């Protein structure tokens, strides 16, 4: 810890969903405003804060690993765990992992007070970065939380337990936050929440919120983190006539078998999911539709898995995130009969991952030769990378500073996890 004459350095890190990223960004900004000096999670920090995730046992392991790495980086650092794993297993993090301060979702808003009570006070410092710059320690795109919590209780999911019921931010707060981020220089805003399709505030649903943002802010690009298939309506999709809305829809499928979907307590059938995809594609043929799939859910037979696989192949997803089922204590599915053996889950995951790779390549392939605007995010070894609005990662070689600029590029060859592009005009 520093001697009190310099500002304490603090690293804010996050694992899991985009909601966690949004919360980490907000927290970083509040800490900077309170006088802490933000550093990257890869640097040595006096205080290391991790916004944890507990959606799978792999997420738990990653959180513990990240905390141990931070301890190794600076053995004297004060470790702070907040968020979902901190909510579910505070003792484990405190006693076993030696985390100094554990604040679950119920208490994480008290982080600043808790830090100063425990002697980790900020010291005002003259060279404080302006707010917009401090947050860029984390990301180029900015994530804004508009909603939190879920009351759906899908049978496998721990989120309603650790995040609680649904709460939405008032429209005015969201608009003020979007305007603030736009003035700080961000071109892309990603709206996040546990279930943003259930956004509801004073009569405004998600559609109303989007209308307000498009009409009343100068945001250049607006992306939604994820939606449920039953939330796709013709009225909602009509909003995409405004091309500031990114043609990217993350619709979690979880399974392409009606039997499994029913056991998961999802609120749609495979047919309804397909109708939502068709509605999007009829209006926006170049939209990227990405999804999550759980393999090896309790009782999933070989034929149910195969139905799901065939359905995913037919849907031509731009990306498929594959999760082998992992039982979460306090969920209904953890007590279901017919647990699938690990080796079977592994085989099914590999098969689904191979399909995901082919499907992603096929999606990118359609755009070769096209000119599309890309928001450039970062440079590594002279290669810039960024995203199109329909979520294609594009790389170009350039020694110019392209960061946070929205510039057109001609898409060339499919490479690695994206596409190589060629700048069609020199960046000015």
Site residues for ligand SF4, 195-254, by CB under 6 A, read 195
Pairing relationship of beta strands 167-168 and 101-104 according to DSSP bridges? unpaired
Residue 162 binds to ligand SF4 (criterion: CB under 6 A): no
> Exposed (0-12), middle (13-18) or buried (19+): which is 312, by Cβ within 10 Å?
buried
Distance CA 63, CA 49 (A): 11
For residue 46, what are the contacts with CB-CB under 8 A and spacing of at least 6? 1, 2, 8, 9, 10, 74, 76, 77, 78, 120
Closest CA to 413 of 376, 364, 372: 364
- Measured from the CB atom, the residue of 19 and 394 that comes closer to ligand SF4 is 19
| 93 secondary structure, DSSP code | I
| Least Å from the CB of residue 346 to ligand SF4 | 23
Structure tokens at 134: 């401090």
Q: Which of 52, 194, 217, 291 lies at the binding interface for ligand SF4 (CB under 6 A)?
A: 194
Site size toward ligand SF4 (CB under 6 A) is 9
| Least Å from the CB of residue 321 to ligand SF4 | 13
- Measured from the CB atom, the residue of 229 and 386 that comes closer to ligand SF4 is 229
Contact window for ligand SF4 (CB under 6 A) among 118-126, 156-164, 241-249, 404-412: 156-164
- Measured from the CB atom, the residue of 169 and 331 that comes closer to ligand SF4 is 331
- Measured from the CB atom, the residue of 132 and 327 that comes closer to ligand SF4 is 327
The rounded Cα 351 to chain-centroid distance in angstroms is 25
Q: Which of 32, 80, 150, 423 lies at the binding interface for ligand SF4 (CB under 6 A)?
A: 150
Contact window for ligand SF4 (CB under 6 A) among 108-116, 123-131, 153-161, 336-344: 153-161
Phi and psi at residue 251, to the nearest 5°: -115, 105
| Least Å from the CB of residue 204 to ligand SF4 | 21
- Measured from the CB atom, the residue of 14 and 56 that comes closer to ligand SF4 is 56
Site residues for ligand SF4, 331-390, by CB under 6 A, read none
Contact window for ligand SF4 (CB under 6 A) among 40-48, 152-160, 201-209, 408-416: 152-160
| Least Å from the CB of residue 160 to ligand SF4 | 5
Pairing relationship of beta strands 248-250 and 288-295 according to DSSP bridges? parallel
In contact, 318 and 417? CB cutoff 8 Å? no
In contact, 279 and 308? CB cutoff 8 Å? no
Q: Which positions lie near ligand SF4, rule CB under 6 A? A: 150, 152-154, 157, 159-160, 194-195
């Amino acid at each position: 810890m520093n001697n009190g004459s310099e500002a304490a350095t603090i690293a804010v890190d996050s694992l899991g969903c985009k909601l966690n990223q949004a919360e980490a960004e907000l927290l970083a900004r509040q800490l900077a405003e309170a006088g802490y000096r933000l550093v990257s999670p890869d640097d040595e920090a006096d205080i290391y804060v991790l916004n944890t995730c507990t959606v799978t046992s792999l997420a738990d392991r990653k959180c513990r690993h990240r905390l141990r790495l931070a301890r190794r980086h600076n053995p004297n650092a004060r470790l702070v765990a907040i968020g979902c794993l901190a909510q579910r297993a505070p003792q484990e993090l405190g006693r076993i992992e030696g985390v100094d301060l554990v604040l679950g979702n119920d208490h994480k808003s008290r982080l600043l007070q808790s830090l100063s009570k425990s002697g980790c006070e900020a010291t005002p410092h003259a060279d404080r970065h302006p707010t917009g710059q401090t947050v860029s320690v984390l990301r180029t795109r900015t994530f804004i939380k508009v909603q939190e919590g879920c009351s759906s209780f899908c049978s496998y999911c721990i989120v309603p337990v650790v995040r609680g019921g649904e709460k939405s931010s008032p429209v005015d707060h969201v608009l003020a936050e979007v305007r603030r981020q736009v003035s700080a220089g961000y071109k892309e805003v990603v709206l996040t929440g546990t279930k943003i399709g259930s956004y509801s505030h004073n009569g405004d649903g998600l559609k109303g919120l989007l209308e307000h943002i498009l009409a009343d802010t100068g945001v250049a690009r607006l992306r939604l983190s994820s939606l449920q298939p039953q939330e796709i309506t013709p009225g909602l999709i009509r909003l995409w006539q405004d091309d500031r809305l990114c043609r990217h829809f993350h619709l979690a499928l979880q399974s392409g078998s009606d039997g499994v979907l029913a056991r998961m307590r999802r609120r749609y059938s495979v047919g309804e999911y397909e109708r939502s995809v068709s509605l999007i594609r009829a209006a926006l043929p170049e939209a990227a539709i990405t999804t999550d799939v759980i393999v090896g859910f309790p009782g999933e037979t070989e034929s149910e898995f195969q139905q799901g696989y065939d359905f995913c192949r037919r849907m031509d997803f731009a990306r498929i995130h594959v999760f082998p089922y992992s039982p979460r204590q306090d969920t209904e599915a953890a007590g279901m009969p017919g647990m699938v053996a690990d080796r079977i889950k592994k085989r099914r995951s590999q098969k689904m991952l191979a399909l995901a790779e082919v499907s992603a390549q096929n999606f990118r392939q359609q755009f070769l030769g096209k000119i599309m605007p890309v928001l450039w995010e970062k440079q590594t070894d002279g290669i810039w990378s960024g995203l199109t609005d329909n979520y294609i990662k594009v790389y170009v070689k350039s020694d110019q500073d392209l960061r946070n600029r929205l510039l057109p590029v001609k898409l060339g060859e499919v490479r690695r996890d994206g596409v190589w592009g060629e700048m069609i005009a020199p960046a000015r």
